[in-house]
């Protein structure tokens, strides 16, 4: 019987060489598909994280005037929005609580400006460059001057640490990284979700740093840091925690750190309690 030539070493009985099977054939899918998924997910996340870190470092090297330029448009829009609280006593009170904190800060490259908003939400925020907004809802919820001072010290620390500028720069860096890795295509929700996941720890890290800087600022100003503890303990027990707690670290842990910071410290400044507030949707107490 005539026989054909013997198959080449490594060839299958059907004459097909294993190397000719291609990607994913045979049993190789057990590692090829997971590897492909890991690359598709891991590369964008890695690019976002690296771009955010680089942008954050670059933001700290920018002149302080950049911070004011970034925050000014939003500040001007707020001024024109009609959201300003028309209660002059409320503005004077917040200015009085803010003054010792600014004195304790000392010279800074930022010119701080204050607005009391008639919004009923329990919240306050700082724009890059030193623009501070305090909602009337926060004044209504705070029971002592120390509680309001603690929130203000936290927001001032966001400004001095340039968190807003870093966050904006990091967002731009993440967007650019996604476009580079994914070909500048519109991925909609998946791309947005990746960016949000990558930025979560970054934002919470900023909040922890603002807490630490704020507690130190309170003590330099002679104000008790217990206000931070009592305020967040009370707010965290509310049926619907206020917006002020939404993106921050665990309020219980923050309160405990504030109590530890207050241990053995004797404040020398007594701040009056907030006055009744009557503006917008906030009822006078």
The CA-atom distances, in angstroms, between 203 and each of 184, 197, 199, 208 are: 25, 11, 6, 9
Which residues does residue 126 pair with via DSSP β-bridges, in sequence order? 132
Structure tokens at 135: 């909602």
C-alpha span between 213 and 120 (Å, rounded): 27
Q: Residue 146: helix, strand or coil by DSSP?
A: helix
Structure tokens at 64: 């302080």
The CA-atom distances, in angstroms, between 114 and each of 119, 131, 159, 223 are: 15, 6, 13, 20
Active-site residue (options: 147, 211, 233, 250): 211
Active-site residue (options: 67, 146, 155, 186): 155
Structure tokens at 214: 């704020």
Q: Is 260 left (phi over 0), alpha (psi -120 to 50) or beta?
A: alpha
The answer for residues whose C-beta is within 8 angstroms of residue 173's C-beta and 6 or more apart is 48, 51, 52, 54, 55, 56
Under a CB-based contact definition with an 8 Å cutoff, are residues 199 and 206 in contact?
no
The number of residues making up the chain comes to: 285
Helix axes 145-160, 88-105, angle to 10 degrees: 60
250 in catalytic set: no
Q: Residue 161: helix, strand or coil by DSSP?
A: coil
196 in catalytic set: no
Please list the active-site residues. Answer: 155, 211
């Amino acid at each position: 019987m005539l026989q054909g030539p013997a198959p080449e070493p490594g060839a299958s009985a059907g004459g097909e060489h294993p190397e000719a099977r291609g990607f994913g054939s045979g049993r190789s899918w057990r590692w090829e598909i997971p590897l492909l998924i890991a690359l598709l997910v891991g590369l964008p996340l890695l690019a976002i994280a690296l771009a955010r870190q680089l942008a954050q470092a670059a933001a700290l090297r920018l002149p302080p005037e950049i911070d004011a330029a970034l925050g000014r448009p939003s500040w001007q829009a707020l001024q024109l929005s009609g959201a300003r609280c028309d209660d002059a006593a409320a503005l004077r009170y917040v200015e009085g609580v803010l003054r010792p904190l600014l004195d304790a800060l000392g010279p800074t490259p930022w010119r701080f400006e204050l607005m009391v908003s008639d919004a009923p939400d329990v919240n306050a925020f700082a724009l890059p460059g030193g623009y501070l907004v305090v909602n009337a809802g926060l004044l209504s919820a705070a029971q002592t001057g120390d509680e309001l001072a603690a929130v203000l010290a936290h927001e001032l620390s966001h400004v001095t640490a340039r968190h807003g500028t870093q966050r904006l720069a990091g967002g731009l860096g993440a967007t650019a990284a996604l476009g580079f890795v994914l070909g500048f295509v519109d991925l909609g929700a998946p791309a947005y979700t990746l960016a949000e996941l990558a930025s979560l720890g970054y934002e919470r890290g900023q909040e922890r740093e603002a807490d630490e800087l704020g507690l130190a600022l309170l003590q330099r100003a002679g104000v008790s840091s217990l206000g931070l503890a009592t305020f967040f303990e009370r707010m965290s027990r509310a049926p619907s925690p206020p917006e002020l707690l939404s993106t921050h670290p665990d309020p219980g842990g923050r309160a405990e750190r504030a109590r530890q910071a207050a241990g053995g410290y004797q404040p020398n400044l007594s701040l009056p309690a907030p006055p009744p507030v009557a503006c917008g949707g906030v009822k006078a107490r």
